[in-house]
Structure 1
Amino acid sequence: MTYRPSSSGGARRVRCRCGRTVLRQLVGQRAALDVVANADELPAAAAAALREPNRLDWCVRATKHGTDLRWADCHRRRGDCPRPHVIDHQCTAPPGPPARRRPTRTPPVSEGQLALDA
């Protein structure tokens, strides 16, 4: 049986609207999670200290294709992980303007009346 490579292709460095450089990647094989994490690498213990219920830390692995983010379950397997970790990004930019709605068109005839093309 052959191994199916990850569909994400690794983490991309992108700029957030707050100006910080972040890593973005789909993490997971079946139910992928869209991760946006700070690009600043931390030791595993420091990243674990910043972890909150809605803010996870991620294990950073260097592959031949570039940077790859993985679930930080390495704490349970080997104690202290030797690889760097990153933490989910919390954007500080103000929310953008609301999406503009397109105006609805009024029909050329009154409601309930059919318009027949000649």
Structure 2
Amino acid sequence: MPKPGSDGARRTRCARCGRPVLRQLVGRRAALDVTADDELLPAAAAQALREPNRLAWCVRERLGGPDLGWLGPQHPANCPHPHVIDHQCTTPAPAARPATRRRARKAAAVPAGQLTL
């Protein structure tokens, strides 16, 4: 995972559904670990897909590859760059495995007077 302010996003696949996604830590002080769909959209289309817990991101091509940026209040409405939207995985989460009881380990025999840790 890139560090904040590094070369930008890396292309990978979602571990659950296998769709291509972009991953990046966005921000310098309070960085967000962003996983966004790797489908480039015009600004208006990305804004239409926004929800309270699903953000849109501006994508700029840098030397190291794509770089995701905040869509804050200063972001121009007519931004010429492509945009992406946070990934929402539709594959159900794997079922939790039932808890198993661990067997107690036998304490190793130690000579009299020796402490065990």
Note closer, same or farther for the CA distance 1:102–1:70 as it changes in structure 2 (3 Å cut): farther
Report how many aligned residue pairs link the two structures.
Answer: 107
Q: Flag structure 2 segments of 5+ consecutive residues without an equivalent.
A: 112-117
Contact 2:59 2:82 in 1 (8 A): yes
Q: Flag structure 1 segments of 5+ consecutive residues without an equivalent.
A: 110-114
TM (normalized to structure 2)?
A: 0.78
1:15 positional shift: 0.9
More helix as a share of residues: 1
1:65 positional shift: 1.3
Amino acid at match of 1:53: P
Name the SS for the 1:80 alignment partner. Answer: coil
Backbone CA RMSD of aligned residues: 2.3
Contact 2:43 2:77 in 1 (8 A): no
Same amino acid, percent of matched pairs? 58
Query: Which of 3, 9, 12 matches 1:11?
Result: 9
Distance 1:108 1:19 in 2: 44
Amino acid at match of 1:41: L
Determine the structure 1 residue equivalent to 2:92.
Answer: 94
